Structure 1
Amino acid sequence: MSLAARLEAQRQDNQDILDTLVEDGADLGDEFVVEHHFASPSFDKLEKVAVEVFKLGFDVTDAEEFREGRVTLFCFDAVREGPLVIEELNEDTDTLVKLADRFGVEYDGWGTFFGEEEDDEFDEEDDEEQH
């Protein structure tokens, strides 16, 4: 899939997620923690992306290592907090998809938490949803 097609698909995903949140009763003007997901079998490439993402003003989580069959993947999240404004979200995802493309890593979308939170931590036992 071309970069332009990936950007367009991500923008549609952004709108779909926001629509779902609104349908579930979310006020998009509230503060949300948005986690953008990156993955790569190359720790070195992922580390370079993490440095660039940090320079863009995102908080960056420590890389985690996962095994998928015979492949080891390294992952991290780029995190921002604030209201969910489609134009800003599209700008962020456009920038992050292009950055991932430039470094040869995967941008794996974004998510947020919506629902009652206990001690500001996600608790799978609560009736929270991740979109």
Structure 2
Amino acid sequence: MRANIVRHESMTVSYTVVNGWTVVELDGDVDAHTAPMIREAVIKLIDDGHHHFVLDLGFVPFMDSMGLGVIVAITKRIRQHDGSLRVASASGRTLRIFDLSGLRESYEICPSTEEATRTAPSFGSLAHWPHVAD
């Protein structure tokens, strides 16, 4: 069952748990305006005991560098809890932001949430993240 954790005129953040993964679905632009809402929502989930995440970007029409920054920030928080993070359903436009930043290789990017949740998560999968200097 999907639960909304942020409902705002420009962003909806909801989640469900599938095969040990907390699938966080973002619906709206991921930018300077919405990044703080997303960060707070994921931190609340972490505080509630969720540590293995799939970030579903399938309903994200636009993401800027602040959006990528919030993904990096939540990745660091997830890593502190020996968690895991996969990115799913990102559009070509969104993947371009990962490419331009040099972070695409630092993330496990899956074509769909089904693919991302097919195998159960493992603890500490972010132990060597990022592949570039921290």
Q: What's the TM-score once normalised by structure 1's chain length?
A: 0.31
Higher relative contact order (CA 8 A, sep 6+): 1
Q: What's the TM-score once normalised by structure 2's chain length?
A: 0.31
Larger Rg: 1
